[in-house]
Amino acid sequence: MAYQLDAKIPAGPIQEKWTNHRFNLKLVNPANKRKFKIIVVGSGLAGGAAAASLGELGYNVECFCYQDSPRRAHSIAAQGGINAAKNYPNDGDSIWRLFYDTVKGGDYRAREANVYRLAEVSNNIIDQCVAQGVPFAREYGGLLDNRSFGGAQVSRTFYARGQTGQQLLLGAYQSLSRQIARGTVKMFPRSEMLDLVLVDGHARGIIVRDLVTGEIRRHAADAVILATGGYGNVFYLSTNAMGCNVTAAYRAYRRGAGFANPCFTQIHPTCIPVSSDHQSKLTLMSESLRNDGRVWVPKKKGDKRPPNEIPEDERDYYLERRYPSFGNLVPRDVASRAAKERCDAGHGVGATGLAVYLDFSDAIQRLGRDVIEARYGNLFQMYEKITAEDPYQVPMRIYPAVHYTMGGLWVDYNLQSTIPGLFVGGEANFSDHGANRLGASALMQGLADGYFVLPYTLGDYLAREADMNVKVGTDHEAFAAAEREVRDKIERLMAVGGKEPVESFHKRLGRLMWDYCGMARNAEGLQKALAEIPKLREEFWAEVRVTGGPDGLNAELEKAGRVADFLEFAELMCRDALHREESCGGHFREEHQTEEGEAKRDDENFSYVAVWEFKGDGEEPELSKEPLTFEHVPLTTRSYK
C-alpha cells in the first residue's frame, strides 16, 4: 500500500503558521522530561544542536557519532557561511525575501511552509551562535559583517573567515559538552548505528556497533532522531568526509521510512579538479570566491597557452556572457552545468581538459592583494598546498564536484518521517532545499532543525503518543531480531573471502554514478546504470575481501558495511532520476532542456515530492507523491539572465 503522506502543514497565513503551531503543540511536563529517553544519531550541526537543546530541556538524551569526538562531524568542513534575514546591511533583505529566494533557488521543489519557517528562525540562529561565542567576522565598528553568496543579490551571509562550519559546530559542541557534564546527554563516539528498531510500528531504538571493541549493542528510547548527514559519497569522489555514508538513513528506509527525491544531488561548481585515479576526495573552494573571482575559458578550442599569455579578447567569461544580471554569482547548478558545457565543447583547461579558470587578477588590481588575502587567505593557501600553484599569480583551475544531497528521508512539517517516533534533521532529511540548495543555507537548516524545530515537535510527539509507563526494553524481541540481522550481515561480509578491496568497489560504483547519474542524466544512461549496479553488487558479495575480524577496530569492515548499503541505495537514486522526466535544479535530464541548454521544468506533471517505499529485496520500491502547491512564490521559469 502506498504511503498516505500528510505533511501536517498548519492552517493559517504562512507568516503565522509556525507561531500558531507552536502554541498548539502539546508540552511535556518539566518534571516528566527526564523520564523520556531520546536517541540522537549524529553530532553535526543538526544532531549536536538537537542533543544539546533537548538536554537543556531536561530530556534524557543519548547521542551517537562514528568519529572519535562529536566535534569532528563533517559540518566542521563548511567554509563559506550561514544565511540569515537580519538585513543588517540594509540592502532590502527580509524573512520574505530569504523565503522567496530559497523556494525559487530550489527550483520549486520544496514545501513553502517549511521554507518560510526556516527563514523565520534564521535570525534566532545568529543570536544564539553569537551568545555561544562564535567569532563571526566583524566590522571596525564592532558589529557583524555580511557578504553575498551565490544565488542572492543581497548580503545576508554571516561568516567566520573560511571556517564558518567549524566555528558553528564548535558552538554546538560546546553546548553539547555542557549537557554531557550535566548528565543530561550521554555521548557515544566511535559508535555506528547499523539498524533501526521498530516496536508496534514506532521507532523505539537502534542497534549500534562499538567501533573500538566491535561489540554490537542495543539502545532503546521513546523516540529516535537521525541527523546523519548526506550521502554524496555514493559517488566515491565528493567534497564529503571519507566516513560520510547513507547507512543510517538507508537502514531506516528498509524499515519503512519513505526516501524522498533521492536523485536530487548538488554538484558544486568550484572544486579543485580531479588529478588522477588515486584521488580519495575532492576539495571545495568556497563559492564565496565567485564574489571576486571571474570565471573564464579560452575562446579557442584546445588552447594550451598558459592563462597569463591569453589576451583579454581571447577569453570567454561565459557566466557573465550568458547571465549578465547575476554573472559569476549564478546558483550552483547553473554554474556547474555551464562549466561542463564549456569543457564538453572542448574549451576546458589543464592537463585533463576538465577545468575552467577562476581568475582573481582583476580583483587584486582593484582592491589590492591585502584585501583578497584577508578575504580568502586560507582558501588560497589550501589551493596552493594541493596543486602547488600560487593563485595570486595564476588563475585557479576549478571543476564541479559532488557536494550535497537535497534528497533524504521524507519528513512532515514536524520533521517526523513516515515512521512514528523517527525524526530526521539536517542534510539527512529532504526538506527545505527542493532540487537545488542555495549557498550558506545548509548550516542554517541544520541549526534551525536542531535548535529551534525538533525540541518543540518532538515534545509534542512524546506528550501525545508515548506512554511513560510502557517502556520498551532492549530485551524486546524486536531488538533481538534486529541484532541478529546486523550480526548476520557482518558475518556474511567477513565470509566472502574474495580478493578485491572494498575501496575498489566503491570507486567503481562512484564512476558509474558520476557517468550516468551525475551532472547530466538521460534515460539510456540511467537504464544502463540500473543494469550495471546489481551486477556490481553481486560481484561485491562474491569477490570482496574484508580483512581482520568482527572484533576490535576494523576500518575495512566499517567501509564494507557502508559500501554494501551504497550499492543498494545507488539503484534507488537512478530509479528516481529515471522517473523524473523533467529537469529541475541539480537534476538535469538531457531530454528536457531549452534550446539554449537551460533546464526545463515540467510543473504540470512533476510538481511533487517523490517518496519511495521499500518493498523487500529484489522487489521494486513503490512511489508515492506529495503534491507541492505554490501560493506565495509564483511558479516561474528560473532566470538569472
Partner 1 sequence: MELTLHVWRQAGPDQPGRMEIIRATGISEDMSFLEMLDKVNDDLIRDGVEPIHFDHDCREGICGTCSLMINGIAHGPEEGTTTCQLHMRSFQDGDSIYIEPWRSRAFPVIKDLVVDRSAFDRIMQAGGYVSINVGAAPDANSIPVPKEDADLAFDAAACIGCGACVASCPNGSAMLFVSAKIGHLAHLPQGRVEHERRLRAMVAQMDKEGFGPCSNHFECEAVCPKEISARFIGEMNRDFIRC
Ligand X SMILES: Cc1cc2nc3c(=O)[nH]c(=O)nc-3n(C[C@H](O)[C@H](O)[C@H](O)COP(=O)(O)OP(=O)(O)OC[C@H]3O[C@@H](n4cnc5c(N)ncnc54)[C@H](O)[C@@H]3O)c2cc1C
Alpha helices in 93-209 (DSSP H): 95-105, 112-132, 164-182
Site membership for ligand X, residue 267 (CB under 6 A):
no
Alpha helices in 518-554 (DSSP H): 523-543
Cα gap 167→156, rounded to integer Å: 18
Q: Of 556 and 603, which CB lies nearer to partner 1 in the complex structure?
A: 556
Site membership for ligand X, residue 446 (CB under 6 A):
yes
Site membership for ligand X, residue 151 (CB under 6 A):
no
Name the binder of 252 from partner 1, ligand X, none, CB < 5-8 A by kind.
none
Site membership for partner 1, residue 90 (CB under 8 A):
no
Cα gap 11→113, rounded to integer Å: 10
Site membership for ligand X, residue 440 (CB under 6 A):
yes
Q: Of 166 and 607, which CB lies nearer to partner 1 in the complex structure?
A: 166
Residues 416-435 that bind ligand X (CB under 6 A): 426-428
Site membership for ligand X, residue 155 (CB under 6 A):
no
Site membership for ligand X, residue 443 (CB under 6 A):
yes
User: Which among 382-390, 436-444, 461-469, 599-607 is the span making contact with ligand X, rule CB under 6 A?
Assistant: 436-444
Name the binder of 328 from partner 1, ligand X, none, CB < 5-8 A by kind.
none
Minimum gap (Å) between residue 637 Cβ and ligand X: 26
Reference 529, options 304, 263, 312; nearest CA is 263
Q: Of 287 and 613, which CB lies nearer to ligand X in the complex structure?
A: 287
- Cα angle value 413/417/422 (rounded, 5°): 115
Q: Would you give the binding string for ligand X spanning residues 176-195, x where CB under 6 A is met?
A: ----------------xx--
Phi-psi region of 475 (alpha: psi -120 to 50; beta: other; left: phi over 0): alpha
Name the binder of 170 from partner 1, ligand X, none, CB < 5-8 A by kind.
partner 1
Give the chain's largest Cα–Cα span. 77
Site membership for ligand X, residue 441 (CB under 6 A):
yes
Site membership for partner 1, residue 28 (CB under 8 A):
no
With contact defined as beta carbons under 8 Å apart, do 80 and 149 qualify?
A: yes
Q: Would you give the binding string for partner 1 spanning residues 265-284, x where CB under 8 A is met?
A: ----------xx-xxxx-xx
Cα gap 279→272, rounded to integer Å: 11
Site membership for partner 1, residue 304 (CB under 8 A):
no
Q: Residue 187: beta bridge partners?
A: 63
Residues 482-521 that bind partner 1 (CB under 8 A): 499-501, 503-504
What is the DSSP pairing of strand 294-298 with strand 315-316?
Answer: antiparallel
Minimum gap (Å) between residue 554 Cβ and ligand X: 15
Q: Which of 10, 105, 151, 229 binds ligand X (CB under 6 A)?
A: 229
Q: Of 124 and 474, which CB lies nearer to partner 1 in the complex structure?
A: 124
Is 332 an annotated catalytic residue?
A: yes
Residues 6+ apart with CB under 8 A from 285: 270, 271, 272, 358, 379, 382, 383, 396, 398
Site membership for ligand X, residue 358 (CB under 6 A):
no
Specify burial of residue 131 (Cβ count, 10 A radius: 0-12, 13-18, 19+).
exposed
User: Which among 244-252, 339-347, 500-508, 538-546 is the span making contact with ligand X, rule CB under 6 A?
Assistant: 244-252
Q: Which of 332, 337, 397, 589 is catalytic?
A: 332
**DSSP annotation string for 242-258:** TT--SHHHHHHHHTT--
Site membership for ligand X, residue 166 (CB under 6 A):
no
Residues 553-582 that bind ligand X (CB under 6 A): none
Q: Of 398 and 572, which CB lies nearer to partner 1 in the complex structure?
A: 398
Minimum gap (Å) between residue 456 Cβ and ligand X: 18
Q: Of 141 and 618, which CB lies nearer to partner 1 in the complex structure?
A: 141
Name the binder of 427 from ligand X, partner 1, none, CB < 5-8 A by kind.
ligand X
Site membership for partner 1, residue 88 (CB under 8 A):
yes
Cα gap 386→344, rounded to integer Å: 25
What's the grid cell of residue 621? 520500491
Residue 84 DSSP symbol: -
**Residue 121 backbone phi and psi in degrees, to 5:** -85, -5
Q: Would you give the binding string for ligand X spanning residues 64-103, x where CB under 6 A is met?
A: xxxx-----xxx-xxxxxx---------------------
Q: Which of 83, 175, 416, 431 binds partner 1 (CB under 8 A)?
A: 175
Minimum gap (Å) between residue 500 Cβ and partner 1: 8
Name the binder of 25 from ligand X, partner 1, none, CB < 5-8 A by kind.
none
With contact defined as beta carbons under 8 Å apart, do 183 and 60 qualify?
A: no
Round to the nearest angstrom and report the end-to-end CA distance of the chain: 45
E strand or H helix that includes residue 62: strand 60-64
Site membership for ligand X, residue 172 (CB under 6 A):
no
Specify burial of residue 120 (Cβ count, 10 A radius: 0-12, 13-18, 19+).
buried
Q: Around 211, how many Cα atoms within 13 Å sit in the side-chain half-sphere? A: 20
Q: Would you give the binding string for partner 1 spanning residues 184-203, x where CB under 8 A is met?
A: ---x-x--------------
Stated length of the chain: 641
E strand or H helix that includes residue 259: strand 259-260
Cα gap 208→64, rounded to integer Å: 9
Q: Which of 71, 294, 403, 562 binds partner 1 (CB under 8 A)?
A: 71
Q: Around 35, how many Cα atoms within 13 Å sit in the side-chain half-sphere? A: 14
Count of chain residues binding partner 1 (CB under 8 A): 82
Site membership for ligand X, residue 408 (CB under 6 A):
no
Footprint of ligand X (CB under 6 A): 41-47, 64-67, 73-75, 77-82, 164-165, 192-193, 227-230, 239-240, 245, 247-248, 284, 404, 426-428, 440-443, 446
Catalytic residue numbers? Answer: 332
